[in-house]
């Protein structure tokens, strides 16, 4: 790859890191952390982006970063108070910066008006008048003219455009202290054109008084060059402050001639007067039009100033992150596959051993138990490699919230909790869209306008809470708002209007709330561009279900709504109950199971048709005959001959699954049916059992949904292909 292209790639990677740092820093500041290191880090992030962008001539990015950086510099210097209002602007500026970076990377375009507007807002933040410190230095634009290094020649008929400069140059000790060299400066002047140099040694003291670090020599240089005075001054750019410098343009017709003689005279005079070697006035000053350069104050004093300024950042300890390595994801997945095979193999071995009828206390059985435990540990460790904190998804949300707040004119605060909660990488990747949609909903539909909130006696600022936590082997993510809650009469009316439910339907509050998950349901009277068109909560629900997750809603009028998602930590293994149905082995995910029981006579009641209910502790629960439901057999089986598994969905819906027998409980490796065969309604995936046979894993929610009559489209009664 072209080295510059490679560096550019590095730049964009680094930008992403800087942008993350920037946002984290700004959020910390919003949270009241105004530690100088935080502010510095924020500044540095923008500064780095700008520096790199400049190198690649990304003009839009540089321009915006520059304005942003200026504002941050004011904050850093204490000239601009980081009030919540200021931080809001800064955070939005960070978003624009991120957009500009991505546009530069992917070649997209950005909303010019938006970045312009924010640039203006940033400028408006600047204290005093908005003028930015512009440097008059136009960079180092000297172009070496090659090899006209002629000390002796006496101006051999210069081209008419040539200028003649008399340069008087007296270095101060500070010039040498900064490792500048007179010889190098003369060399560079020589590259501009022929020079004549004379050295004034009049200040040179006796050897015994000579300070080896002093500066005693003064130089007079006559330069003939096609360049203008700026080019000449530029040679002295680095040393302007550390020398006495005069540049006289001799070309000008009014310029005094014969400077050489004057020089010698003045030098002679100076030598006579030179009683103190360090008197700057002693420098020859024969020409009246001299431009004295500003004097330098004592270097020591400045040094201490600089030191004090530097002391702060250097004092900060730098927390070192734990060492990490990057590994190709394929390798990890291969390892996970292998461990899956190991688990299956271990299960097979265990089964063979049992079949061999060995004593429970035999060495083989004990060894096998240890193997099982080790296998499980290996599996957990391997899964941990794929696990990542949900932070990567959560940290995209503050920006979304800010944008939505700006678009809707609502005042919103986002509170995130449990960002460190880990879950499988695939789950994280597929979480972004549903989360985004739910947050949009919460702000667009959930939260009220500020006036309405005040009228309702609530704080003007609405709160959206995003939290993640581990609960019984699953990750639970909650999105709650303190808005108006679900408007149940309206939701019901809309559902009726759209023909989703019959007009006379009697629904519980919970059922009404769940109407929003129906396909094609949208509560906004006008579809706004915020919550989108066509993509409703049904899509959210389906994508969560596709991950083996569940979603539920609880809402209290006037208090707000909470969406709860429960997802598996990994998509690779699952704890399941192994059951038999019509000689087929099925797996019921353990997380869905509440209890198992043996039905007694009189507990099962017919409901007309094939529908039956079972009374469990005097509560009626629909009885689902799995064998019939999946098409394993045509007629209903005798409930008294089977076992009932009581399952519950995240939404609280309960159902009793009738199976023939329970074989046991086991951890199974999930093998995708969709990837290897195709999607089968009612079946989530498959696995390989210890005896080498394939067993299907039941999709409890899908079966439940189907039997309850609100099956998603595509889940048709005939599921004979599952057999």
Give 367: exposed, middle or buried? Use CB within 10 Å, 0-12, 13-18, 19+.
exposed
Nearer to other proteins, 109 or 138 (CB): 138
Shortest reach from residue 134's CB to other proteins, in Å: 6
Shortest reach from residue 153's CB to other proteins, in Å: 24
Do residues 665 and 576 lie in contact, with contact meaning Cβ atoms separated by under 8 Å? yes
Shortest reach from residue 48's CB to other proteins, in Å: 5
Do residues 22 and 46 lie in contact, with contact meaning Cβ atoms separated by under 8 Å? yes
Nearer to other proteins, 140 or 207 (CB): 140
Distance (Å, rounded) from C-alpha 154 to C-alpha 633? Answer: 114
Shortest reach from residue 123's CB to other proteins, in Å: 14
Nearer to other proteins, 66 or 633 (CB): 66
Residues 6+ apart with CB under 8 A from 279: none
Q: How many angstroms separate the Cα of 705 from the Cα of each of 249, 562, 682, 699?
A: 93, 22, 9, 10
Q: What is the DSSP letter of 505?
A: -
Please name every residue paired with 481 in a beta bridge, in sequence order, or none if there are none.
464
Distance (Å, rounded) from C-alpha 606 to C-alpha 187? Answer: 106
Compute the chain's Rg from CA coordinates.
40
Shortest reach from residue 68's CB to other proteins, in Å: 13
Shortest reach from residue 191's CB to other proteins, in Å: 10
Nearer to other proteins, 56 or 521 (CB): 56
Beta-sheet strand order (sheet of 593-597): 593-597, 643-648, 654-659, 619-625, 612-616, 604-606
Do residues 430 and 543 lie in contact, with contact meaning Cβ atoms separated by under 8 Å? yes
Phi-psi region of 641 (alpha: psi -120 to 50; beta: other; left: phi over 0): alpha
Nearer to other proteins, 304 or 665 (CB): 304
* Angle 353-357-363 from CA coordinates, rounded to 5°: 60
Q: Of 203, 202, 200, 195, which Cα lies nearest the Cα of 166?
A: 195
Distance (Å, rounded) from C-alpha 62 to C-alpha 534? Answer: 39
Shortest reach from residue 78's CB to other proteins, in Å: 15
Shortest reach from residue 149's CB to other proteins, in Å: 15
Helical spans, DSSP H, in 236-359: 259-273, 299-315, 329-355
Residue-wise DSSP of 328-370? -HHHHHHHHHHHHHHHHHHHHHHHHHHHTT--TTSHHHHHHHH
Shortest reach from residue 673's CB to other proteins, in Å: 45
Nearer to other proteins, 238 or 521 (CB): 238
Nearer to other proteins, 1 or 601 (CB): 1
Nearer to other proteins, 136 or 451 (CB): 136
Distance (Å, rounded) from C-alpha 371 to C-alpha 343? Answer: 10
Nearer to other proteins, 120 or 316 (CB): 316
Shortest reach from residue 22's CB to other proteins, in Å: 13
Q: What is the DSSP letter of 444?
A: I
Nearer to other proteins, 212 or 409 (CB): 212
Q: Of 76, 63, 45, which Cα lies nearest the Cα of 118?
A: 63
Contacts with other proteins, residue ranges (CB under 8 A): 3-4, 6-7, 10-11, 13-14, 40-41, 43-44, 47-48, 50-52, 54-57, 62, 66, 70, 132-135, 137, 139-142, 144, 177-181, 183-184, 188, 237-238, 241, 299, 302-303, 305-307, 309-311, 313-314, 316, 318
Nearer to other proteins, 44 or 170 (CB): 44
What crossing angle do the helices spanning 3-30 and 36-55 adopt, rounded to 10°?
150
Shortest reach from residue 39's CB to other proteins, in Å: 12
Shortest reach from residue 215's CB to other proteins, in Å: 14
Distance (Å, rounded) from C-alpha 320 to C-alpha 343? Answer: 37
Shortest reach from residue 184's CB to other proteins, in Å: 6
Nearer to other proteins, 14 or 510 (CB): 14
Nearer to other proteins, 294 or 709 (CB): 294
Shortest reach from residue 244's CB to other proteins, in Å: 16
Nearer to other proteins, 261 or 310 (CB): 310
Shortest reach from residue 199's CB to other proteins, in Å: 19
Measured from the Cβ of residue 157, the count of other Cβ atoms closer than 10 Å reads 6
Shortest reach from residue 675's CB to other proteins, in Å: 38
Q: Of 210, 204, 217, which Cα lies nearest the Cα of 176?
A: 217
Q: What is the DSSP letter of 215?
A: -
Residues 6+ apart with CB under 8 A from 162: 193, 224, 225, 226, 251
Nearer to other proteins, 43 or 216 (CB): 43
Distance (Å, rounded) from C-alpha 441 to C-alpha 103? Answer: 27
CA dihedral 5, 10, 12, 18 (to 10 degrees): -160
Do residues 435 and 468 lie in contact, with contact meaning Cβ atoms separated by under 8 Å? no
Nearer to other proteins, 137 or 321 (CB): 137
Shortest reach from residue 223's CB to other proteins, in Å: 17
Nearer to other proteins, 191 or 699 (CB): 191
Long-range contacts from 535-540, C-beta under 8 angstroms, 24+ separation: 535/437, 537/437, 537/438, 537/441, 538/712, 539/437, 540/434, 540/437, 540/438
Distance (Å, rounded) from C-alpha 501 to C-alpha 494? Answer: 9
Q: How many angstroms separate the Cα of 316 from the Cα of each of 31, 40, 42, 141, 305?
A: 20, 11, 15, 38, 19
């Amino acid at each position: 790859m072209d080295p510059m292209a490679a560096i550019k790639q590095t730049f964009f990677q680094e930008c992403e890191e800087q942008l993350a740092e920037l946002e984290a820093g700004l959020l910390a500041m919003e949270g009241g952390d105004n530690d100088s290191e935080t502010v510095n880090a924020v500044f540095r992030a923008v500064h780095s982006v700008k520096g790199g962008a400049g190198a690649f001539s990304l003009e839009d990015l540089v321009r915006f970063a520059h304005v942003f950086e200026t504002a941050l510099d004011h904050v850093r210097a204490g000239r601009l108070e980081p009030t919540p209002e200021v931080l809001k602007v800064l955070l939005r500026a960070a978003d624009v910066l991120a957009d500009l970076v991505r546009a530069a990377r992917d070649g997209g375009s950005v909303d010019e008006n938006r970045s312009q507007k924010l640039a203006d807002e940033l400028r408006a933040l600047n204290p005093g008048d908005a003028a930015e410190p512009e440097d008059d230095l136009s960079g180092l634009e000297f172009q070496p003219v090659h090899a006209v290094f002629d000390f002796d020649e006496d101006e051999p008929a210069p081209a008419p455009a040539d200028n003649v400069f008399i340069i008087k140059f007296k270095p101060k000790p500070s010039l040498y202290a900064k490792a500048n060299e007179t010889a190098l400066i003369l060399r560079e002047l020589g590259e501009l054109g022929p020079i004549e140099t004379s050295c004034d040694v009049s200040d040179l003291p006796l050897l015994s008084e000579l300070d080896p670090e002093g500066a005693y020599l003064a130089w007079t240089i006559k330069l003939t060059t096609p360049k203008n005075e700026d080019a000449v001054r530029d040679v002295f750019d680095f040393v302007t402050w550390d020398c006495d410098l005069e540049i006289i343009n001799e070309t000008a017709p009014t310029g005094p001639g014969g400077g050489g003689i004057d020089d010698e005279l003045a030098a002679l005079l100076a030598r006579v007067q030179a009683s103190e070697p360090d008197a700057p006035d002693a420098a020859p000053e024969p020409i009246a039009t001299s431009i004295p350069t500003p004097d330098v104050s004592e270097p020591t004093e400045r040094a201490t100033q600089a030191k004090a300024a530097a002391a702060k950042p250097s004092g900060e300890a730098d927390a070192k992150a734990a060492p990490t390595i990057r590994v190709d994801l394929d390798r990890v997945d291969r390892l996970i596959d292998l461990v899956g095979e190991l688990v299956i193999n271990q299960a097979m071995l265990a089964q063979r051993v049992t079949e061999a009828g060995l004593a429970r206390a035999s060495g083989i059985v004990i060894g096998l138990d240890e193997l099982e435990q080790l296998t499980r540990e290996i599996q957990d460790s391997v899964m941990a490699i794929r696990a990542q904190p949900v932070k990567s998804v959560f940290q995209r949300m503050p920006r979304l919230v800010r944008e939505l707040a700006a678009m809707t004119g609502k005042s919103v605060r986002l509170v995130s909790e449990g960002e460190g909660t880990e879950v499988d990488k695939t789950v994280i990747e597929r979480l972004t869209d549903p989360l985004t949609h739910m947050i949009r909903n919460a702000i667009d539909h959930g939260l009220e306008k500020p006036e309405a909130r005040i009228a309702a006696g609530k704080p003007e600022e609405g709160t959206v809470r995003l939290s993640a936590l581990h609960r019984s082997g699953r990750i639970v993510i909650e999105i709650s708002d303190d808005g108006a809650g679900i408007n149940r009469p309206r939701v019901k009316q809309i559902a009726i209007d759209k023909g989703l439910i019959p007009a006379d339907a009697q629904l519980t509050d919970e059922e009404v709330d769940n109407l929003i998950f129906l396909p094609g349901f949208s509560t906004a009277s006008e579809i706004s561009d915020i919550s989108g068109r066509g993509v409703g909560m049904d899509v959210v629900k389906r994508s969560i279900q596709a991950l083996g997750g569940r979603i539920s809603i609880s809402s209290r009028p006037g208090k707000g709504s909470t969406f709860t998602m429960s997802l598996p930590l990994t998509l690779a293994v699952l704890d399941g109950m192994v059951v038999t149905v019509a000689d087929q082995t099925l797996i019921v995910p353990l997380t869905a199971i509440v209890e198992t029981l043996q039905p007694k006579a009189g507990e099962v009641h017919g409901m007309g048709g094939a529908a039956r209910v079972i009374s469990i502790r005097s509560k009626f629960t629909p009885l689902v005959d799995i064998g019939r439901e999946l098409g394993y057999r045509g007629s209903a089986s005798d409930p008294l001959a089977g076992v009932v598994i009581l399952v519950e969905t995240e939404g609280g819906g309960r159902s009793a699954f009738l199976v023939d027998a329970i074989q046991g409980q086991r951890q199974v490796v999930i093998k995708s049916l969709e990837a290897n065969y195709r999607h089968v309604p009612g079946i989530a995936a498959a696995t390989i059992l210890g005896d080498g046979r394939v067993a299907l894993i039941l999709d409890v929610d899908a079966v439940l949904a189907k039997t309850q009559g609100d099956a998603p489209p595509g889940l048709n009664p005939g599921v004979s292909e599952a057999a």
